[in-house]
Amino acid sequence: MTNTALKLEIDNHPISLRNEVADFVALLKNKNKIKSKSKLTHREFGYAKGKIKLSKDFDEPLDIFKDYI
């Protein structure tokens, strides 16, 4: 359902039901905030191990800085 279709559907209902929809949206926002906060606190040490690789010449000087070395 597109945003426009959803808005038209909501607008066709009485104000009391629109208020319920607004309350439900607020509930979903709070629920999403709680989930996003809990994801940050449950990470364990080493959760990204093996996902990031550096090249073997990572510490080598760059060619563009030869004049300064």
Alpha carbons 33 and 28: distance in angstroms, whole number: 9
Question: Mean of the pLDDT values across residues 61-69?
Answer: 86
Question: Residue 44: its pLDDT value, please?
Answer: 79
Domain boundaries, given as residue ranges, for the chain = 3-68
Alpha carbons 32 and 46: distance in angstroms, whole number: 26
pTM above 0.85, yes or no: no
DSSP code per residue over 51-68? T----TTTTSPPGGGGGG
Per-residue confidence band for 48, with pLDDT thresholds at 50, 70 and 90: confident
Question: Residue 12: its pLDDT value, please?
Answer: 92
